[in-house]
């Protein structure tokens, strides 16, 4: 049964990818790709956050730091060195993975709170360093110039949408593979009781490091295409608070520790945010997310997936 489900997943992913790659060639509504890119970016960030936060229970409050660092490195490589987009993507993923490993190595042996504090302070420190480094634009920022879109695409934004779709799918497949494997079971075991897991022979520290590195890698991948999306890099918006808050709120609202939870949470929260931005104004977005976050953590700590599971259990 389980192998059959997995066998189904791969074709589904391929079909989604192919359809996603064809749609921009047929449907020419720029707003669709403009908003779609952000939704896919948040799906990736939420999924990446969940790999460490949901399975292993280590909370990262500084997603913006991982995201922004990769975005800046990618922008620097694309603009000043002139590398191609795939190289910039890999470099962005690699630097954020290294950041995850570095912070993980220094704090994951201790209680989870220290990792959380380190990430919380980290985002602002990286932002400060960027602001004070004129070589990467300092506080003023710099423009990035989109190259001509690779054929058959006629608009670079459409191409970027397809790239982000690929990244989002890759993160979801990775997350699902982790969940169903020994690694995922080990992470969940150490989240529930670290001492017990260690006694049973789970390589606790190694698994945590692996999760921190993978989580950072996908956060970096989500950030690396951003310079070409926004076309203007400046530290306030690239290290925006929204990113850190959404990355925590989306998996929590969807359902922690499940591969589908971040997907549901990101889709719902991003849709709400788009609607609020259009109807009321973007300032209220963070208030709504803050209220949702506190409400869910108090009343429904296992998110929407948890609520649905409970309903099914009651019915049967």
Partner 1 sequence: MFPTELLVNSLAAGILLGGFYALIAIGLSISFGLIDVVNIAHPTFIILAGYIVYMLNLITGIDPVILGVSLSPIFYVLGVVVYGAYNRAFEKRGQEALMGLVFFFGILILIEVSLLLRFGVDLRTIYAPYTMESISLGILTMPLRLVYPFIAGLIIVLVLYLFFSKTFIGIATRAVSQDDLAVKLMGAKPAVIKSVAFGLSIATASIAGGLLIAMQPIHPFLDREFIGRVFAIVVLGGMGSILGTIAAGIILGVVESLTASLYGPAWALAVSFGILIAVLVLKPEGLFRR
- C-beta of 78 vs 245, nearer to partner 1: 245
**d(C-alpha 145, C-alpha 231), whole Å:** 7
What are 201's two structure tokens?
Answer: 């022979």
**d(C-alpha 38, C-alpha 28), whole Å:** 18
**d(C-alpha 121, C-alpha 244), whole Å:** 12
- C-beta of 14 vs 241, nearer to partner 1: 241
Q: How far is the CB of 61 from partner 1 (least distance, A)?
A: 6
- C-beta of 128 vs 271, nearer to partner 1: 128
Q: How far is the CB of 304 from partner 1 (least distance, A)?
A: 16
- C-beta of 61 vs 226, nearer to partner 1: 61
Q: What are phi and psi of 232, to 5 degrees?
A: -140, 115
DSSP annotation string for 28-83 = --HHHHHHHHHHHHHHHHHHHHHIIIIII----S-HHHHHHHHHHHHHHIIIII--
**d(C-alpha 126, C-alpha 121), whole Å:** 9
Q: How far is the CB of 44 from partner 1 (least distance, A)?
A: 20
- Provide CB contacts within 8 A for 58, sequence distance 6+: 52, 108, 112, 115, 116, 208, 211, 212
- C-beta of 57 vs 203, nearer to partner 1: 57
DSSP annotation string for 174-213 = HHHHHHHSHHHHHHHHHHH-HHHHHHTT--HHHHHHHHHH
Q: How far is the CB of 73 from partner 1 (least distance, A)?
A: 19
Q: How far is the CB of 56 from partner 1 (least distance, A)?
A: 10
- C-beta of 55 vs 76, nearer to partner 1: 55
- C-beta of 99 vs 162, nearer to partner 1: 99
Q: How far is the CB of 292 from partner 1 (least distance, A)?
A: 9
Binding site for partner 1 (CB under 8 A): 57, 59, 61, 106-107, 110-114, 116-118, 120-122, 124-125, 128-129, 131-132, 191, 241, 245, 248, 252, 283-284, 286-287, 289-291, 293-294, 297-298, 301
- Provide CB contacts within 8 A for 33, sequence distance 6+: 24, 155, 157, 158, 160, 161
Q: How far is the CB of 59 from partner 1 (least distance, A)?
A: 5
- Provide CB contacts within 8 A for 245, sequence distance 6+: 286, 289, 290, 293
Residue 47 Cα to chain centre, angstroms: 5
Q: Are 67 and 223 in contact (CB under 8 A)?
A: yes
- C-beta of 86 vs 290, nearer to partner 1: 290
Q: How far is the CB of 57 from partner 1 (least distance, A)?
A: 5
């Amino acid at each position: 049964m389980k192998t059959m489900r997995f066998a189904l997943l791969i074709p589904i992913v391929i079909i989604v990818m192919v359809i996603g790659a064809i749609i921009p060639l047929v449907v020419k509504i720029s707003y669709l790709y403009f908003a779609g890119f952000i939704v896919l970016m948040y799906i990736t960030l939420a999924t990446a956050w969940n790999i460490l936060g949901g399975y292993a229970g280590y909370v990262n409050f500084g997603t913006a730091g991982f995201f922004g660092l990769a975005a800046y490195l990618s922008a620097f490589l694309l603009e000043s060195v002139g590398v191609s987009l795939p190289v910039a993507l890999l470099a962005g993923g690699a630097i954020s993975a290294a950041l995850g490993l570095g912070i993980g190595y220094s704090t994951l042996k201790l209680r989870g709170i220290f990792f959380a504090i380190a990430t919380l302070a980290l985002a602002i420190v990286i932002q400060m360093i960027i602001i004070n480094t004129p070589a990467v634009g300092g506080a003023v920022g710099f423009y990035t110039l989109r190259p001509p879109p690779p054929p058959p695409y006629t608009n670079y934004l459409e191409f970027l949408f397809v790239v982000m779709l690929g990244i989002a799918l890759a993160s979801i497949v990775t997350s699902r593979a982790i969940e169903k494997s020994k690694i995922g079971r080990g992470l969940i075991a150490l989240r529930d009781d670290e001492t017990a897991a260690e006694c049973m022979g789970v390589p606790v520290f190694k698994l945590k490091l692996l999760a921190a590195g993978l989580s950072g890698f996908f956060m970096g991948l989500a950030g690396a295409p951003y310079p070409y999306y926004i076309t203007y890099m400046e530290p306030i918006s690239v290290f925006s608070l929204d990113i850190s808050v959404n990355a925590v709120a989306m998996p929590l609202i969807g359902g922690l520790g499940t591969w589908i939870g971040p997907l549901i949470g990101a889709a719902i929260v991003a849709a709400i945010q788009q609607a609020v931005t259009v109807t009321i104004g973007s300032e209220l977005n963070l208030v709504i997310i803050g209220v949702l976050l506190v409400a869910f953590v108090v009343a429904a700590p296992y998110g929407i997936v948890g609520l649905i599971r409970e309903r099914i259990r009651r019915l049967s």
